[in-house]
Amino acid sequence: MVHRELPKHQRDVIVERYQSGEGYKRISKALDIPWNTVKTVIIKWRKCGTTEILPRTGRPSKIDEKTIGKLVREASKRPTATLKELQEFLASTGCVLHATTISHILHMNGLWDRVARRKPFLTNKNIQAWLKFTKTNIKSPKSTWENVLWSDETKVEVFGHNSKRYV
């Protein structure tokens, strides 16, 4: 079912017919409008004395539909972008929003953050290369092995934490 507001001239016609003595159902059939809608228009006219569209309650949205579309496209295009980066993207378009507001908008559009799958350090290709290297150099002198860098001894995190990455 489609919900829409009636145009002002149609609401005025409903009120004029009601004032001339017609009932809800007769007005409804003549204008092809549900009788409940006719009743609602008349009740509002009695209460407020006007058929104008009155302002809604609550705060208007800070972001319009076009900007929401831009935000959703940007987040889909760059899944590893942080909320801070998306906030800067929106600021460059002229819309300043808080990170939690951006998160709410993404959630309403079905985009949720997840922890990315950890990629193993050794793949089969790496293991095969390592085995080949060891088999060819197994009888090398001790001085050769002193020059080898053993990377499995220490894990150094140079650029932030490697534990979790949200996408």
pLDDT of residue 34: 92
Report pLDDT digits (tens) over 52-68.
988 888 988 888 999 99
Rounded-to-integer distance, Cα 145 and Cα 134, Å: 11
Tabulate helix, strand, coil % of the chain (nearest 5): 50, 0, 45
Closest CA to 68 of 59, 80, 76: 76
pLDDT of residue 26: 94
| CATH of region 8-48, choose from 2.40.320, 1.10.8, 1.10.10, 3.40.50 | 1.10.10
Q: Dig out the tokens for 121 from the structure.
A: 């350090």
**Does residue 106 sit in helix, strand or coil?**
helix
Which pairs with CB-CB distance under 8 Å and at least 24 residues apart come from 7-11?
8/51, 8/52, 8/53, 11/41, 11/45, 11/51
Give the confidence band of 158 by pLDDT, cuts at 50, 70, 90: low
User: Percent of the chain scored above 70 by pLDDT?
Assistant: 86
pLDDT of residue 77: 93
Between the ranges 9-13, 140-144, 145-149, where is the mean pLDDT highest? 9-13
Rounded-to-integer distance, Cα 35 and Cα 25, Å: 6
Rounded-to-integer distance, Cα 69 and Cα 41, Å: 34
Between vectors from CA 113 to CA 75 and to CA 89, what angle results, nearest 5°? 30
Report pLDDT digits (tens) over 14-24.
999 999 999 99
pLDDT of residue 3: 67
Crossing angle of helices 24-31 and 8-19, rounded to 10°: 140
